[in-house]
Amino acid sequence: MTAVISNWSHDNQERAKRIIASYPEKRSALMPLLYIASLEHAYVSDDAMREVAELTGITPVQVQSVASFYTMFKRGGVGDYLVSVCTSISCYLGGADDVLAAVESSIGDVAGEAAAERPITVEHVECIGACGGAPAVQVNYELIEGVTPEKAVALIKWLTATRPEVILTDEMQQLFGGRRSFEWGSTDSEGAVRPIPAFGPYGSVGGGSVGGGSAGR
Amino acid sequence: MAEHGTVSIIINGVEHDVPEGERLITAAERVGEYIPRFCHHDKLAPVGKCRMCLVEVEGPRGSALTTSCTVPVTDGMVVHTETDVVKKAQEGILEFLLLNHPLDCSVCDKGGECPLQDQALAFGAGESRFIEEKRTFTKPIPVSELVLLDRERCVVCDRCVRVADDIAGDPLLEFIDRGSYVQINTFPNEPFSSYFSGNTVQVCPVGALTSVDYRFKARPWDLESVRSVSLVDSVQSSVDVHTSRGKILRVYGAENDAVNEGWLSDKDRFIFSAFRSPDRITTPLVRDGDGFKETSWSEAVELVAMRLGGHVGTEVGAIGGANGTNEEAFALAKFMRTVVGSPHIDAQLGDGLDPHLASSITARGTISDLDAASTILVWGPDLKETLPVLYLRVRKAVRNGAALVVVSPYSTGLDSIATHSLRYRAGSGPEILRKLAHGDAGYEAVTETLANGPVVALVGRSSITENPMLAEAVAAFARSLPHAKLLPLLTRANVFGALDMGLAPTLLPGRVSTGDAAGVSLLEDSWGPLPESAGKDTMAMLEALIDRDLVAVILAGADPIRDCPDPAVAESALDAAEFVVAFDAFMTDSTRKAHVVLPAALWGEVDGTVTNLEGRVQRLRRSVQPRGMSISVSAALDDIARAMGAELGAADWQLINKEIAAVAPAYAGMTADYLTFEAGEEGAVVPIPGATQPLGHIPVEVNVPVVTGRFTLHLAPALYDAGVLVRNSHMLEGFADPGVVRMHPRDAASLAVADGDLIDAEGVGLPVKIDPEVPERSVVITRNLDTTRGIAASADIRVETVRGEP
Ligand code: SF4
Ligand code: FES
Ligand code: FES
């Protein structure tokens, strides 16, 4: 069998090779390779898991076992905007369920369900570390604190209508946020361009601005 | 302080000496304190997953709850297994485990033998505080063609995953969506197709993994269990055969650490489905024109007695006997040598080894010697395909640190874990042996590994196309390695027993050579004069039938047309024979040529003893009645002998068993009673103390020629082939490969063929499969498939491209 890696972009193939070479055991490269697989399509497809299995010398189901544990490795298509509503305890007490319901009804989507053809995918997530500004919401992993159901609906409308190229946390916070947990200090001017968490070491700064892929923008 | 190698621990206030380093849960069980468990399994690495085995262990900061399956015992350890704290923990864990577990025990296969059911009753609170809806899944889903999965029943113990990964080396089952939605599953379209999948059904502590065949068939309390032996291959794994109302419903691996450690191959486990095949021969048959007509036993016996009695003894031969019990084999050997008066007897079909090497190799090892080996040398058939349970044992030894050297003409199941895997072009084995023996340049690393004893060498013919003398030379080489022990590799189920019973032209019962005058005269004391002429082996018998030197032949569960190296010779031989009588359970290519076919009982249907590749004798016990009018070969021979005016003394297996212990020197004292009352569940290795082992075979280094020719042939054995039992088992048939000619890319290029192109291999058309694992100028074809069985097992082969219509 030959590796089916060929449908990855050249950059990502090179990146994968470098990463594998940096570990004494090939299988140690599993997590970074899954991340690169997400860079390709914004999610980890069955084919991608087969590719990663072949590259790391383990079986696809062993890859799947890891990939399916981490909820940030998406298993299905994700829209251009991934809206993550926190429903853990602080946000829950702050009314996160209403926020989620408002978001869902405003796009007619069900949280967590794959919706590749839709521009917006909604999910509910566990604590995203913004308890002080609960309820909190992320768009493409960029944070907004103090979100109310009304503001959440406005956020969805805004995303649908303006289709922003770059998601900027400060901009969203100003338009749709409420009280911030604290003054964050540094402002992030880079923002996110894809529904992928930023991760510099493996080639993605600001949600996949580097390398790109076949899907996304 | 306890004595050496043990430590002293206090459990519930009582002091016990237990083996040092043992896991607490096992040590406690050893001294009679049962700690409940789900994930713990003696033969699997500890994972501490289920938390059912929590106990209190006292420490410097007071006592703490600890998983007893993960902690080793230490001297002075103080343990409490029955405190309120422990009880509360157990109740809590069970409450959690039952949180999502369905209450479908009444329709669950495991109900009645379910650790979850039992331990919930014994250690649970009796009531749950959870009122939430339980998780449900689509059910059942197949994880393979043999195993079904009901995910909602899973308690996430990780046993099946560890069996698949650590034991079998087929990591195709895993936890998916770990967290509160965790489930066991396979990758989409990648089933758990392992040769060992059935073991997961046996170790699953709940009814999550069930056997497709057994599902909904019975309740465990209706089953009768008979401890016996699996006569699928020469490892002879211990099994518990579970029957109900006269039918075998399932076969479980039995704990026998000397042999199979509880594991079975799927072939061991599921082959019994062939026993109830509608194609079983159930009545005696006599030739009637082109076909057969049914007859009675008495008529069949009369006919056989008359026809055999009508020839000079030495004109009669007997082939087979390697698939039955020792008693059946002994009866056949005695029948031939005393009643018929013929020395022409062979349990092997030209596909085996020198009988002396196989039965009496010196420095013979045991399976458990593998556990203590520093280095293991495997030079023989692919263990995974031929002796899968031995393959598991080698894997275990390697997992525990043994070095492994595999030498073979094609990739084998063990290559991926081998320290060195040496590949040679089929037929050029002698060359690589010479290089190894002389420590040629390039082989230093291998010779260095082999110099690290104790060495256990598993030696046989890598395939039927290999010169059997090569095995002799390899054995001689292996014998020279430090602290070497050897295990001869023949695969047919009871071939070692058959050889030990004298089913070989050069062997008498009990490992006595026909050339050993003292041994011969000792046997003649009880048997009367033995035939004086030299015996012929199977191939010689077949040639002699063609030449009319032999005129009649007995086939005892043997199918020479399928199994001997040259199907065409076997076919003409049986055509030429004046009389062929076959004992068999199924019609085969060979029995179809018989004049009389007698229905033979299969191993679940007879009692007796059997001998495995270590020389270990175990009791084979009847679990069901023979199908139809089938009887054991020995009982049939006894009748035939009587009709010929002789007494064989083989009417019942116990009589024969006693006679074996009396006249077969190496088997002296090896009675069924000894096995039952003294040897215990592990059986006993021949010779037992007090018995003699007259023949000792020291392998000699022989000059084996290297095969030349454009292409040499390796006829690779496969676990699932078109063998008679596999093709009659509704569970296993259809697993066989379609059959291809594998060749090296460069050879394919030189023949200008691509993958899938049809090629003519010695007259048989097969598609090409390009495979870089095949050495150049060699081809690999799987043996005994429907598509490949016509190919003669010659060392070299003519391969030609097919020029035909496009
Ligand atoms: S399926 Fe059975 S063996 Fe496998 S993890 Fe679940 S309970 Fe354990
Ligand atoms: S609970 Fe929502 S951010 Fe922590
Ligand atoms: S038996 Fe110890 S944790 Fe499962």
Give per-residue pLDDT as tens, A45-101.
999 999 999 999 999 999 999 999 998 999 887 888 999 999 999 999 999 999 999
Q: Is the dihedral of CA B242, B247, B251, B254 positive or negative?
A: positive
Judged by CB atoms closer than 8 Å, whether chains meet at B187 and A69 is answered as: no
pLDDT digits (tens, 9 = 90+) for B629-647: 999 999 999 999 999 999 9
Amino acid at B277: S
Among the partner-chain residues A46, A59, A65, the one whose CB lies closest to the CB of B176 is A65
Region B775-782: mean pLDDT is 96
**Closest alpha carbon to B228 in B660, B675, B662:** B675
Answer for the pair B684, B768: CB distance below 8 angstroms, yes or no. Answer: no
The 10 Å CB-count burial string (b at 16+, else e) for B48-65 is: bbbbbbbbbbeeeeebee
Q: Chains A, B: CB contacts under 8 A, how many?
A: 34
Same domain assignment for residues B179 and B224? yes
Question: Which of B221, B239, B274 is the last residue before a domain boundary?
Answer: B274
Check whether B323 has a pLDDT greater than 60.
Answer: yes
- Phi and psi for A27 in degrees, rounded to 5? -70, -15
Question: Which of B244, B274, B304 is the last residue before a domain boundary?
Answer: B274
Q: Is B190 on the interface with A (CB under 8 A)?
A: yes
pLDDT band at residue A192 under the 50/70/90 scheme = confident
Same domain assignment for residues B654 and B757? no
Same domain assignment for residues B646 and B513? yes
Of A138-147, A203-212, B525-534, where does mean pLDDT reach its minimum? A203-212
pLDDT digits (tens, 9 = 90+) for B108-137: 999 999 999 999 999 999 889 999 999 999
CATH 3.40.30.10 residue ranges in chain A? 81-176
Contacting residues of A for B177, CB less than 8 Å apart: 68-69
User: Model pTM?
Assistant: 0.93
What counts of helices (H) and strands (E) characterise chain B? Answer: 25, 37
What pLDDT does A186 receive?
66
pLDDT band at residue B211 under the 50/70/90 scheme = very high
Check whether A111 has a pLDDT greater than 80.
Answer: no
d(CA B261, CA B671): 24
Contacting residues of B for A64, CB less than 8 Å apart: 174, 176, 187
Q: Is A69 on the interface with B (CB under 8 A)?
A: yes
Q: Is A204 on the interface with B (CB under 8 A)?
A: no
Reported ipTM: the value is 0.91
DSSP chain A: ----GGGS-HHHHHHHHHHHHTSSSGGGGHHHHHHHHHHHHSS--HHHHHHHHHHHTS-HHHHHHHHTT-TTS-SS---SEEEEEE-SHHHHHTTHHHHHHHHHHHHT--TT---TTSSEEEEEES--S-GGG-SEEEETTEEEES--HHHHHHHHHHHHHH--SSB-HHHHHHHH----SS---S---S-BSSSS--BGGGTBSTTT-SS--SS--
* Residue B371 β-bridge partners: none
- Phi and psi for B355 in degrees, rounded to 5? -60, -30
Contacting residues of B for A61, CB less than 8 Å apart: 171-174, 176, 185-187, 190
Judged by CB atoms closer than 8 Å, whether chains meet at B186 and A65 is answered as: no
* DSSP for residue B619: E
Q: Is the dihedral of CA A44, A49, A50, A55 positive or negative?
A: positive
Q: Is A161 on the interface with B (CB under 8 A)?
A: no
Span from the CA of B200 to the centroid of ligand 1 (angstroms):
8
Of B263-267, B415-419, B612-616, B788-792, where does mean pLDDT reach its minimum? B788-792
Judged by CB atoms closer than 8 Å, whether chains meet at A61 and B177 is answered as: no
**Which regions of B264-363 does DSSP assign to beta strands (E)?**
285-288, 291-294, 316-320, 345-346
What pLDDT does A206 receive?
59
Region B222-238: mean pLDDT is 97
Supply the CATH number for residue B582's domain. Answer: 3.40.50.740
pLDDT digits (tens, 9 = 90+) for B581-600: 999 999 999 999 999 999 99
Judged by CB atoms closer than 8 Å, whether chains meet at B172 and A46 is answered as: no
d(CA B149, CA B191): 12
Looking at CATH, the fold of the domain delimited by A5-75 is given as: Arc Repressor Mutant, subunit A (1.10.10)
Same domain assignment for residues B79 and B178? no
Answer for the pair B648, B655: CB distance below 8 angstroms, yes or no. Answer: no
Same domain assignment for residues B678 and B541? yes
**Scanning the structure block, which residue is given the tokens 């010697």?**
B369
**Closest alpha carbon to B553 in B536, B530, B531:** B536
Average per-residue pLDDT in chain B? 95
Q: Is B173 on the interface with A (CB under 8 A)?
A: yes
Using CA coordinates, name the residue in chain A closest to B187.
Answer: A61
Q: Is the peptide bond prior to B687 cis by the omega test (within 30 degrees of 0)?
A: yes
Span from the CA of A93 to the centroid of ligand 2 (angstroms):
10
pLDDT digits (tens, 9 = 90+) for B422-480: 999 999 999 999 999 998 989 999 999 999 989 999 999 999 999 999 999 999 999 99
pLDDT digits (tens, 9 = 90+) for B327-340: 999 999 999 999 99
CATH 1.10.10.1590 residue ranges in chain A? 5-75
Span from the CA of A77 to the centroid of ligand 3 (angstroms):
39
Same domain assignment for residues B466 and B566? no
Q: Is B406 close to ligand 1, i.e. is its CB under 6 Å away? A: no
Region B340-349: mean pLDDT is 97
Contacting residues of B for A47, CB less than 8 Å apart: none
d(CA B747, CA B296): 57
What pLDDT does A106 receive?
86
Mutate to test the pocket of ligand 3, among B34, B43, B44, B49 (most ligand atoms within 8 A of CB): B49
Amino acid at B565: P
Q: How many residues does chain A have?
A: 217
Judged by CB atoms closer than 8 Å, whether chains meet at A61 and B171 is answered as: yes
What pLDDT does B803 receive?
60
Distance separating the N- and C-terminal Cα atoms of chain B: 84
Using CA coordinates, name the residue in chain B closest to A45.
Answer: B188
The closest ligand to the CA of A125 turns out to be: 2
What pLDDT does A78 receive?
84
Which pair of structure tokens corresponds to residue B362?
């010196």
d(CA B613, CA B205): 33
Of A79-93, A191-205, B475-489, where does mean pLDDT reach its minimum? A191-205
Same domain assignment for residues B340 and B291? yes
Sheet holding A142-145, edge to edge: A120-125, A81-86, A136-139, A142-145
Q: What percent of chain B clears pLDDT 90, i.e. is strictly above it?
A: 91
Question: How many CB atoms are closer than 10 A to CB B722?
Answer: 20
Judged by CB atoms closer than 8 Å, whether chains meet at B187 and A46 is answered as: yes
Check whether A143 has a pLDDT greater than 60.
Answer: yes
Region B238-267: mean pLDDT is 97
Contacting residues of A for B171, CB less than 8 Å apart: 58-59, 61-62
Q: How far is CA A118 from CA A122, A144, A194, B511, in A?
A: 10, 22, 14, 79
What pLDDT does A194 receive?
87
Judged by CB atoms closer than 8 Å, whether chains meet at B186 and A46 is answered as: no
Region B644-671: mean pLDDT is 96
- Identify whether B522 is part of a domain: yes
Question: Which of B433, B467, B489 is the last residue before a domain boundary?
Answer: B489
Same domain assignment for residues B663 and B560? yes
d(CA A80, CA B289): 79
Using CA coordinates, name the residue in chain A closest to B176.
Answer: A65
Q: Is B176 on the interface with A (CB under 8 A)?
A: yes
Check whether B25 has a pLDDT greater than 50.
Answer: yes
Check whether A207 has a pLDDT greater than 70.
Answer: no
pLDDT digits (tens, 9 = 90+) for A15-61: 999 999 999 999 999 999 999 998 888 889 999 999 999 999 999 99
Q: How far is CA A175 from CA A54, A146, B358, B588, B744, in A?
A: 46, 11, 86, 83, 67
Same domain assignment for residues B533 and B428? no
* DSSP for residue B675: I
Judged by CB atoms closer than 8 Å, whether chains meet at A61 and B172 is answered as: yes
Atom of ligand 2 nearest to the CA of A89: 1
A 9-48 near B (Cβ less than 8 A) = 46
Answer for the pair B715, B463: CB distance below 8 angstroms, yes or no. Answer: yes
Judged by CB atoms closer than 8 Å, whether chains meet at A58 and B171 is answered as: yes
Supply the CATH number for residue B169's domain. Answer: 3.30.70.20
In chain B, the number of structural domains is 5
Among the partner-chain residues B177, B178, B187, the one whose CB lies closest to the CB of A61 is B187
DSSP B684-732: EESSPTT------B------PPPP-SSEEEEEE--SSSS-HHHHH-TTT
Same domain assignment for residues B531 and B634? yes
Question: How many CB atoms are closer than 10 A to CB B230?
Answer: 29
What pLDDT does A211 receive?
38
Check whether B802 has a pLDDT greater than 80.
Answer: no
Atom of ligand 1 nearest to the CA of B175: 5
CATH of domain A81-176: 3.40.30.10
Q: Is B209 close to ligand 1, i.e. is its CB under 6 Å away? A: yes
Same domain assignment for residues B343 and B413? no
pLDDT digits (tens, 9 = 90+) for B349-379: 999 999 999 999 999 999 999 999 999 999 9
d(CA B208, CA A132): 44
Same domain assignment for residues B389 and B332? no
Instruction: Show the domain range for B418.
Output: 356-489
Amino acid at B685: V
